[in-house]
Amino acid sequence: MSTNLRVTVLRGGPSAEREVSLAGGAAVAAACRRLGYHVTESDIAPDDLSGLDVPADVVFPVLHGQFGEDGRLQAILEQRGLPFVGSDAESSRTAIDKDASKRKWQSRGLPTAPWVLIDESTDLATASLPPPPVVLKPLCEGSSIGVQFCTTADTLRADAGRAVRQYGAVLVEQQLHGPELTVGVLESRALPVIEIRPNSAFYNYEAKYRRDDTQYLFEPAIDERTYALAQKLAVEAFQALGCRDYGRVDFIADRESGLHLLEINTIPGFTDHSLLPKAAARAGIAFDDLVRRLVNMAHRRKE
């Protein structure tokens, strides 16, 4: 495929994950230049789409969270007939919505932790919630933003109420105990499994992007059967939501009940801390080759 492609890299955006997007987008743009592409970088937002007016053969979104992974940007790109890297608008809308994605997985018989969705209409005084310990998760945020652990029944309803007031809709999910795993998916094939061991209470934003003491283990503390099952479930979860090109699927390997799907990331990070590039490298796919493959996937849809 020609190296003379015009590639627009979208980065930044309005979400709470802007800092990560700027760094990852810069890395993707640098790789595109090394590959010989003609690169335009655009810091895009819902009220400023001027970056899309630049002629491009492929658009490479590296935006996370709201307006990055929620389907709005993808819908605009589809309406304009612009080939782009990553999942389409419909699958993006489903994947960012933790309740919708878990329901889809549950309907396919895929394992996911028990949960209840609450919002402003929920009467928390009478609502039936999973017993603590639970995890409170904003419905449509990424990078562990807003995630809170609640270990006692005394504080659960008050904590849930505060989370709803801040984020609008929140999952109350049964907390699982065991290794946290992530599996990258590239062209519907699973990459090597990574176990995440943060040197903090949990794998939060700080541990993901700013700390250097989080361990990423390519020899996770699971047996061979669980390893193979994690790869199989990652691909099934990816396909169940209609995702395409690439993504990253997160699990907990609970010590008693086994693997459970947590969530899927349709635009994984591209920073030096990011897990999908690490897994690709482990599989023998260098960063520039990963970017080239993704650009080619999108460009083939144009042809």
Residue 206 pLDDT greater than 80, yes or no: no
Q: Look at residues 62, 137, 124 and name the one whose alpha carbon lies nearest to residue 98.
A: 137
Q: What does 275-290 look like in DSSP terms, one character per residue?
A: HHHHHHHHTT--HHHH
Identify whether the C-beta of residue 239 lies closer than 8 Å to the C-beta of residue 79. no
pLDDT of residue 41: 98
Residue 59 pLDDT greater than 60, yes or no: yes
Mean pLDDT within 248-268 = 96
**How buried is residue 95: exposed, middle or buried, by Cβ count under 10 Å (0-12/13-18/19+)?**
buried
Q: How confident is the model at residue 202 (pLDDT cuts 50, 70, 90)?
A: low
Identify whether the C-beta of residue 242 lies closer than 8 Å to the C-beta of residue 88. yes
pLDDT of residue 201: 59
pLDDT, tens only, 183-199: 999 999 999 999 999 87
Give the list of residues 6+ apart from residue 214 with CB closer than 8 angstroms, or none: 196, 197, 198, 199, 200, 203, 207, 208, 273
pLDDT of residue 142: 63
What CATH number is associated with residue 224? 3.30.470.20
Identify whether the C-beta of residue 136 lies closer than 8 Å to the C-beta of residue 159. yes
Task: Please report the sign of the dihedral spanned by the C-alpha atoms of residue 116, residue 164, residue 94, residue 243.
Answer: negative
What CATH number is associated with residue 152? 3.30.1490.20
Work out whether strand 134-138 and strand 148-150 pair parallel, antiparallel, or are unpaired: antiparallel
Q: How confident is the model at residue 213 (pLDDT cuts 50, 70, 90)?
A: confident
Is 48 found in the same domain as 134? Answer: no
pLDDT of residue 140: 81
Is 102 found in the same domain as 186? Answer: yes
Identify whether the C-beta of residue 208 lies closer than 8 Å to the C-beta of residue 23. no
Is 263 found in the same domain as 186? Answer: yes
Question: Does residue 1 lie within any of the structural domains?
Answer: no
Q: Quote the domain boundaries for residue 298.
A: 6-85+287-302
Identify whether the C-beta of residue 179 lies closer than 8 Å to the C-beta of residue 260. no
Q: Among 149, 174, 199, give the residue marking a domain's end.
A: 174
pLDDT of residue 4: 87
- C-alpha distance from residue 131 to each of 31, 102, 116, 143, 280 (Å): 47, 19, 11, 25, 38
Is 44 found in the same domain as 186? Answer: no
CA–CA separation, 102 and 113 (whole Å): 9
Residues serving a catalytic function are 17, 143, 209, 248, 250, 263, 265, 269
Is 197 found in the same domain as 107? Answer: yes
CA dihedral 234, 237, 242, 244 (to 10 degrees): -10
Residue 205 pLDDT greater than 60, yes or no: no
Question: Does residue 215 lie within any of the structural domains?
Answer: yes
Identify whether the C-beta of residue 61 lies closer than 8 Å to the C-beta of residue 72. no
**How buried is residue 4: exposed, middle or buried, by Cβ count under 10 Å (0-12/13-18/19+)?**
exposed
Is 104 found in the same domain as 121? Answer: no
pLDDT of residue 204: 45
Identify whether the C-beta of residue 68 lies closer than 8 Å to the C-beta of residue 61. yes
